[in-house]
Amino acid sequence: MKVDHAERGIFNDSHDQFRDQVRRFYEREIEPNVAAWEAAGIFDRDLFRKAASAGILCPGMPEEYGGGGGDLLHMAVCYEEHGYSPAGASIDSGLDTDASAYLILNGGTEEQKREWIPRFASGEVVGEGLFTEPHSGSDMAAMRTTAEPDGDGYVINGSKAWITNANHLDLCLLVARIKNGAPRPHFAVFLIDGDAPGVTKGKPFRTSHAGCGNLGELFFDNVRVGPERLLGGRGEGGIGQAARTLNLTRVLYAARSVAACELALSMALDFTKGREAFGAPLFKLPTVKAKLAEVRMRIDVARAFVDKCLVQANAGTLSAERSSMAKLWATEMEVDVADICAHLHGAMGLSLDHPISRIVTASRAHRYAMGVSEMQRETIMRSL
């Protein structure tokens, strides 16, 4: 099934050309290598430098900071092409680290922007936002990781879990509770080197989809940071900065989930048209065709809403509840669509040699990323 992106009406020629660029990179550098990476349990760190050479890191960042000079829709193209790639489900969030660069772009000092964003764009630095904790998940208000003032700096203690690219990390954008005795808790974001004294990286988590995305845990034991590593130079506002970045990332995840659904449908169409049962292609059976038609309808309806949210995000007007709606709807749909499309493959849908099985297991993981579905519902309910 070929997707007509021009018909969507939100992209221009620059986005279309960039889409071809990203797709060629996935076909050349990721899809041929993913089986070896799965065997190793982790993809190569050098993939980031190759992506930078191909011009697909930080495409929406200003050129003055080393970015591609595009907009948020260029970043959305990266997420969508991740979803369209048969290997995308295996590398988890993989190269999609730009949301963390946006945390610096939107909340950092001028010095921090000029120091770090060019290094994201060049692939020299892999950075991630560290929000989730083992006991509280994505409930940032309940986090226990603390930053205690010490002279003009801070001492960090705590842990973060389910971090993308955990063992590749060069820079941790860590949200911590300021330990200052104030009646109302304050939070800040700290820029911590991945190899700083007191930082320990745990073993990658073993997950049900057994990919090579390198999800893991990090521990912080009396990690000392100077005032220049306080994002924006402010000892408060960390929750708001992190929430705005999550708001942005959720709609990008939604776009990726819709793309993954389109890939799953394309695979199911190809399989059912080529496989015979009862003397005719499976596609000719009314029960099969009805399922495919329902999947197509659900994808098209979701695409319209997610595209509207992308346009709003690009304009800086996307609300938290709409971002949650997009993420909730698209990731829950992805689970259903992946299951239906795998079922239409028969026993082949269980084979790890077929990418449809990876899409099934990855779809379940996507419901947890950036806040589980129940948290998205809570955000939506608070807006009523």
Q: Which residue has the tokens 């992106």?
A: 5
Q: Which residue has the tokens 């009805």?
A: 290
Q: Is 90 helix (H, G, I), strand (E, B) or coil?
A: coil
Last residue of a domain, one of 125, 144, 171: 125
Residue 197 pLDDT: 97
Distance CA 252, CA 178 (A): 30
Single-letter amino acid code for the residue at 289: K
- 120 and 133 assigned to the same domain: no
Q: What is the CATH number of the domain that holds 350?
A: 1.20.140.10
Residue 237 pLDDT: 63
Phi, psi of 305, rounded to the nearest 5 degrees: -70, -45
CA-wise closest residue to 362 among 58, 25, 38: 38
Strand partners, 178: 147, 186
Residue 211 pLDDT: 74
Residue 323 pLDDT: 96
Distance CA 55, CA 147 (A): 37
Q: Is 218 helix (H, G, I), strand (E, B) or coil?
A: strand
Distance CA 384, CA 381 (A): 5
User: What pLDDT digit, counting tens, does each position of 122-135 carry?
Assistant: 999 999 988 888 88
What pTM value is reported for the model? 0.91
A 10 A CB-CB count for 240 gives 13
Percent of the chain scoring above 90 in pLDDT: 60
pLDDT category of residue 351 using cuts at 50, 70 and 90: confident
User: What pLDDT digit, counting tens, does each position of 192-233 carry?
Assistant: 999 999 999 988 777 766 677 788 899 999 999 999 999 988
As a whole number, mean pLDDT of residues 62-86 equals: 94
Q: What is the CATH number of the domain that holds 142?
A: 2.40.110.10
CA-wise closest residue to 103 among 221, 236, 243: 243
User: What pLDDT digit, counting tens, does each position of 234-246 carry?
Assistant: 776 666 777 788 8
Distance CA 257, CA 8 (A): 16
Last residue of a domain, one of 80, 101, 125: 125
Mean pLDDT of the chain: 89
User: What pLDDT digit, counting tens, does each position of 102-158 carry?
Assistant: 899 988 999 999 999 999 999 999 999 888 888 876 666 778 899 999 998 999 999
Kindly tell me the sign of the dihedral angle through the C-alpha atoms of 146, 147, 150, 155. Answer: positive
Distance CA 228, CA 189 (A): 12
- 205 and 278 assigned to the same domain: no
Residue 138 pLDDT: 65
Alpha helices for the chain (secondary structure H) = 5-8, 13-25, 34-40, 47-53, 72-84, 98-107, 110-121, 238-274, 286-315, 320-343, 355-366, 373-382
Last residue of a domain, one of 125, 143, 174: 125
Which helix (H) or strand (E) segment holds residue 216: the answer is strand 216-225
Distance CA 362, CA 207 (A): 10
Cβ–Cβ under 8 Å, residues 297 and 370: no
- 210 and 307 assigned to the same domain: no
Number of separate domains in the chain: 3
**Span of 4-18, 144-158, 181-195, 301-315 with lowest mean pLDDT:** 181-195
Distance CA 380, CA 62 (A): 32
Q: Is 177 helix (H, G, I), strand (E, B) or coil?
A: strand
Residue 318 pLDDT: 94
**What is the radius of gyration, based on Cα positions, of the chain?**
21
Percent of the chain scoring above 70 in pLDDT: 96
Residue 210 pLDDT: 63
Q: What is the CATH number of the domain that holds 34?
A: 1.10.540.10
- 207 and 281 assigned to the same domain: no
- 254 and 376 assigned to the same domain: yes
Could you list the residue range(s) of the whole structural domain that residue 26 is in? 5-125
